[in-house]
Amino acid sequence: MSTALDQTLDALADPVRRAVVDLLGEEPRRAGALAQALSLSPPAMSRHLRVLRRAGVVEEQAHEDDARVRIYRLRPEPLQELRSWVDEVSAFWGDQLEAFRVHAEASARTKTKATKKARRPR
The per-residue pLDDT string of the chain (122 residues; one tens digit each, 9 = 90 and over) reads: 458 889 999 999 999 999 999 999 999 999 999 999 999 999 999 999 999 999 999 999 987 777 778 899 999 998 888 888 888 877 766 666 666 666 677 777 776 666 666 676 66
Measured CA to CA, the distance from residue 110 to residue 95 in angstroms comes to: 23
pTM, two decimal places: 0.68
Q: Which fold has domain 3-78?
A: Arc Repressor Mutant, subunit A (1.10.10)
